[in-house]
Structures are given as structure tokens and as C-alpha cells.
């Protein structure tokens, strides 16, 4: 896993996010702790219903995988899908978040 070092006040401009990428990442930030959504859901939510594969490509390049919770996005079939930090870690994060959410009920 790689982390991007940001220089002061350059933010997403330095990283070169497109408007589409920004929409995807912002949308993923709205997925609640302990819950998952599909790539298709994200695509529909940002107004690009046929872009589920492109959503996956954006999330694969997510430079902040623990801050922008791309691990909460799964395939429509219910299978886990990919994760830059590994599928096993994706499953662990999803399960950990579910446990945390249940503890806070």
C-alpha cells in the first residue's frame, strides 16, 4: 500500500483528480460505517449509471484507502471485489466496522 505525501495547500490539485474521480470519492465518503454499497450504486448515485467499472477503476487508485473508505464498495453479486490493500484486508475492515457499529448501538 502506498501513501501520497501532500505538500501544503495542494490537495486534490496535486493528485490530479478528474471531476468524475472527485464525484466517486465524495460519494464513497457518504457510505456509513459498517455498511456496504455496490459499484453500481455509486455509479447511479453520481449520475453515471453505466459507469460501475469506471467507479472500480477510480477506487483502485484511491490514494487514501483508509480515509476514503473504498473497502465499503462491493460487487452487485455480493462478492467482495478488489481492494488496493488486498481482498483479505477488505473483508477484515468490513467485518471490523460491522462489529464497531453493533457495539455502538
Burial class for 82, CB neighbours closer than 10 Å (0-12, 13-18, 19+): middle
- Choose, from 52, 68, 70, 94, the residue flagged as catalytic: 70
The domain that holds 53 is classified in CATH as 1.10.10.10
Q: Verify whether residue 27 is a known catalytic residue.
A: no
Domain count, the chain: 1
* Integer Rg of the chain from CA: 14
What is the pTM assigned to this prediction?
0.83
Query: What is the pLDDT at residue 14?
Result: 57
91 belongs to a structural domain: yes
56 belongs to a structural domain: yes
7 belongs to a structural domain: no
Which residue from 14, 15, 5 is spatially nearest to 61, judged by alpha carbons?
15
Residues 74 and 70: their CA atoms lie apart, in Å, by 9
**pLDDT means over runs of 10, the chain (105 residues):** 46 73 98 97 98 96 92 96 90 96 94
Residues 68 and 15: their CA atoms lie apart, in Å, by 14
Which residue from 49, 63, 77 is spatially nearest to 15, judged by alpha carbons?
63
Range of the structural domain that residue 68 is part of:
17-103
Amino acid at each position: 500500500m502506498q501513501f501520497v505525501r501532500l505538500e501544503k495547500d495542494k490537495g486534490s490539485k496535486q493528485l490530479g483528480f478528474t471531476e468524475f474521480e472527485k464525484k466517486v470519492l465524495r460519494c464513497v465518503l457518504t457510505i456509513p460505517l459498517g455498511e456496504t454499497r455496490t459499484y453500481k450504486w455509486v455509479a447511479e448515485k453520481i449520475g453515471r449509471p453505466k459507469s460501475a467499472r469506471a467507479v472500480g477503476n477510480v477506487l483502485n487508485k484511491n490514494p487514501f484507502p483508509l480515509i476514503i473508505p473504498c473497502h465499503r464498495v462491493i460487487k452487485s453479486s455480493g462478492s467482495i471485489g478488489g481492494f488496493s490493500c488486498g481482498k483479505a484486508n477488505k473483508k477484515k475492515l468490513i467485518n471490523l466496522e460491522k462489529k464497531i457499529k453493533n457495539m455502538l448501538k
